[in-house]
Amino acid sequence: MDGPLEHLEQWDDFVSSRYDPAKKTEAFRDYENSTPGVREFYRLNHTLQTRDFVLQKKREYLGLNRMQMSVWEALDYLNTLVDDSDPDTDLSQIEHNLQTAEAIRRDGHPRWFVLTGLIHDLGKILCLKGEPQWAVVGDTFPTGCAYSDKVVFSNYFRDNPDYANPSYQTRLGIYDEHCGLDKVDLSWGHDEYMYHVAKPYLPEAGLYMIRYHSFYAAHREGAYEYLMSDHDKEMFQWVRAFNPYDLYSKSADRPKLSELKGYYAELVNEYFPSKLNF
């Protein structure tokens, strides 16, 4: 896979180390010490995700007329992302999704919540459509208004062309106070894409989890509250409930799909048709 990340999960790993509960919260975290690939990844992401880019990708992908796949076909397809030559990537994409779902199931959450865990990262198939890493993963952020310094590596926004557009650099930019996140164009990636794929089928709480799980500036740092409606704020409790399962469910014991397939096949059939539009 094309860099700068060695593999897509390197971004996920960086986020979980940032929010590692065993780490002491420091007033200032020195991300400059993170690996050059991660830094370069954020530099590209923050420089190239302009509002125009986001709108163009939405036009390109959200018609959902590229392919039809079952959840299982999509998981298999996503799994082709795994780079066999990389010894760190011992967990496949299927395993991350399954471990997230299994951790949610162990805690006795509703079935739709477990299912949300299983599919939350399926949007990463964007990588297989030729999208660069910086347009698939990464912390998401609103475009069309001022960047918050709560977004990691926010200094890199200085090279984004939108930074030089004064109408995009006021606190509200093109938005109205508390307009609701649905009206806000976040940077493009696997979250927004998968939200649209799953939209007809999952309860709203699950859709919020999928759509905003990489919006760390909001759900972890409390930024951009002024764009959120009261309803968003209420629903963000679900985004926050989901996040630890995404970040901390990685473990050495690999879930055996063969043993779990029965349970998950039934669960998938309960909510989804046999094929989804991607």
Which residues 6+ apart lie within 8 Å of 87 measured at CB?
A: none
Beta strand 276-277 pairing with 68-69: antiparallel
Q: Binding segment for Fe ion among 192-200, 230-238, 240-248, 264-272 (CB under 5 A)? A: 240-248
The CB-of-152 to Fe ion minimum distance in angstroms stands at 15
DSSP annotation of 28 reads S
- Residue 171 or 199 having the CB closest to Fe ion: 199
The CB-of-96 to Fe ion minimum distance in angstroms stands at 6
The CB-of-242 to Fe ion minimum distance in angstroms stands at 10
- Residue 104 or 145 having the CB closest to Fe ion: 104
**Number of residues near Fe ion (by CB under 5 A):** 2
Q: Is residue 88 within 8 Å of 250, Cβ to Cβ? A: no
Q: Binding segment for Fe ion among 36-44, 79-87, 180-188, 242-250 (CB under 5 A)? A: 242-250
- Residue 121 or 192 having the CB closest to Fe ion: 121
The CB-of-88 to Fe ion minimum distance in angstroms stands at 16
- Residue 8 or 276 having the CB closest to Fe ion: 8
Closest CA to 96 of 69, 71, 75: 75
DSSP annotation of 246 reads H
- Residue 1 or 174 having the CB closest to Fe ion: 1
Q: Binding segment for Fe ion among 57-65, 77-85, 149-157, 246-254 (CB under 5 A)? A: 246-254
246 is a site residue for Fe ion (CB under 5 A): yes
User: ∠ at Cα 145 (207, 116), nearest 5°?
Assistant: 10
Here the tokens at position 168 are: 């995009």
The CB-of-26 to Fe ion minimum distance in angstroms stands at 25
The SS3 assignment for 186 reads: strand
Residue 4: cis peptide before it, omega within 30 degrees of 0: yes
What part of residues 108-167 is at the interface with Fe ion (CB under 5 A)? 121
The CB-of-270 to Fe ion minimum distance in angstroms stands at 22
The CB-of-226 to Fe ion minimum distance in angstroms stands at 25
CA distance 11 to 54: 20
Q: Give the N- to C-terminal CA distance of the chain in Å, as an integer.
A: 22
- Residue 228 or 247 having the CB closest to Fe ion: 247
- Residue 34 or 100 having the CB closest to Fe ion: 100
Give residues in contact with Fe ion (CB under 5 A): 121, 246
